[in-house]
Amino acid sequence: MKKVAYYIVLALLIIICGSVAYGAYYYFDKYKKIDKEFTELTDKKTMLKNDLKALLDTAEEEKTADETEDADDTEGSSDIEISDWVTYTNTKYNFSFKHPASYTTAGCPTKPCGEFIGEESGGDQTIMQGDISDVGWPNIAIMHLSSEYYNPPEGTDLRAWILETFSYYADYISLSPNYTITTSEGESFQGYDYTVPSSPQSYSQRYINFVNNDNEMFVIQLYDYESYSSEFYDAWLGTFVY
Residue 111 backbone dihedrals phi, psi, to 5 degrees: -100, 145
Domain membership flag for residue 57: yes
Task: Specify whether 90 is located in the same domain as 70.
Answer: no
For residues 235 and 76, the answer to whether their CB atoms sit within 8 Å is yes
Task: Specify whether 109 is located in the same domain as 199.
Answer: yes
Domain membership flag for residue 81: no
DSSP designation for 83: T
Question: Residue 79 has what pLDDT?
Answer: 81
For residues 88 and 225, the answer to whether their CB atoms sit within 8 Å is no
Task: Specify whether 63 is located in the same domain as 139.
Answer: no
Task: Specify whether 111 is located in the same domain as 31.
Answer: no
Range of the domain at 157: 86-237
CA pseudo-torsion sign 31, 36, 38, 39: positive
Angle at CA 188, nearest 5°, toward 185 and 189? 135
Give the domain-ending residue among 46, 74, 102.
74
Domain membership flag for residue 113: yes
Task: Specify whether 93 is located in the same domain as 202.
Answer: yes
Question: Residue 233 has what pLDDT?
Answer: 97
Task: Specify whether 162 is located in the same domain as 230.
Answer: yes
Domain membership flag for residue 125: yes
Give the predicted TM-score (pTM) of the model: 0.67
Task: Specify whether 48 is located in the same domain as 152.
Answer: no
Question: Residue 28 has what pLDDT?
Answer: 57
Q: Which residues contact 196 (CB under 8 A, 6 or more apart)?
A: 169, 172, 204, 205, 206, 207
Question: Residue 215 has what pLDDT?
Answer: 95
Task: Specify whether 26 is located in the same domain as 58.
Answer: yes
Task: Specify whether 232 is located in the same domain as 164.
Answer: yes
Along the 242 residues of the chain, how does pLDDT read in single tens digits? 555 555 565 566 677 766 665 565 555 565 566 666 666 666 666 666 666 666 666 656 555 455 444 444 444 455 899 999 999 999 999 999 999 999 998 877 677 778 899 999 999 999 999 988 778 899 999 999 999 999 999 999 999 999 999 999 999 999 999 999 999 999 999 999 999 999 998 999 999 999 999 999 999 999 999 999 999 999 999 999 99
Spatial strand order in the sheet of 116-120: 116-120, 125-129, 139-143, 217-223, 205-211, 188-196, 179-182
Question: Residue 107 has what pLDDT?
Answer: 79
Whole-angstrom CA distances from 236 to 44, 47, 146, 167 are: 54, 49, 26, 28
Strand partners, 220: 142, 208
3-state helix, strand, coil in the chain (%, to 5): 40, 20, 35
Helix (H) or strand (E) run with residue 44 in it:
helix 2-74
Task: Specify whether 104 is located in the same domain as 23.
Answer: no
Task: Specify whether 70 is located in the same domain as 97.
Answer: no
Question: Residue 133 has what pLDDT?
Answer: 75
Task: Specify whether 111 is located in the same domain as 215.
Answer: yes
DSSP designation for 20: H
Q: Which residues contact 156 (CB under 8 A, 6 or more apart)?
A: 215
Question: Residue 136 has what pLDDT?
Answer: 84
Question: Residue 121 has what pLDDT?
Answer: 92
